[in-house]
Amino acid sequence: MTKSPMTTRGAEKLREELHELKTVARPKVIQAIAEARALGDLKENAEYHAAREQQSFIEGRIAEIEGKLSNAEIIDITKLNAGGKVVFGATVELMNVETEEEVTYQVVGDDEADIKAHLISISSPIARALIGKEEGEIAVVQAPGGKKEYEILDVKYI
């Protein structure tokens, strides 16, 4: 299995979620199951079934996060020296050539991507068009609505 890239910030967020699930959510659902068991007949006990379903979800999420972290290649962006090129982890300031609208994105791993937070996946069309380019170059993105051109205004490793 190949390693998937992840920023140090993304790995830390996953570790925090994992800690929360193991120390807060898991004990809470175990307590809810114990209380529901005390109520008697388990076949018709909605609280028991809901708690077991919640436990199943929590255990699945714990396993998923542990798998992602064990399979991650964690990259510290602040230690990169890519000579001004767009690489994984770079924060890129772009201007849409057609509309002159400016936007800033950070290129992150697939599990960290969140377009609302301006975090784009390394495998997204825009990131693939940007990788390897430098400040001042034009990146042509093949979007579902047609081709879009972005001028790279700035590349930072923060």
What mean pLDDT is reported for the chain? 91
Q: For residue range 22-49, what is the model confidence (pLDDT) as tens digits?
A: 999 999 999 999 988 887 777 778 888 8
Sign of dihedral through CA atoms 78, 79, 80, 83?
Answer: positive
Give 52-80 pLDDT, tens digit per residue.
999 999 999 999 999 999 999 999 888 87
> Which domains are assigned to the chain?
4-75 (1.10.287.180), 77-156 (3.10.50.30)
Does residue 1 surpass a pLDDT of 70? no
For residues 77 and 158, the answer to whether their CB atoms sit within 8 Å is yes
Instruction: Say what the pTM is.
Output: 0.80
Give the integer Cα–Cα distance in Å for 89 and 155: 10
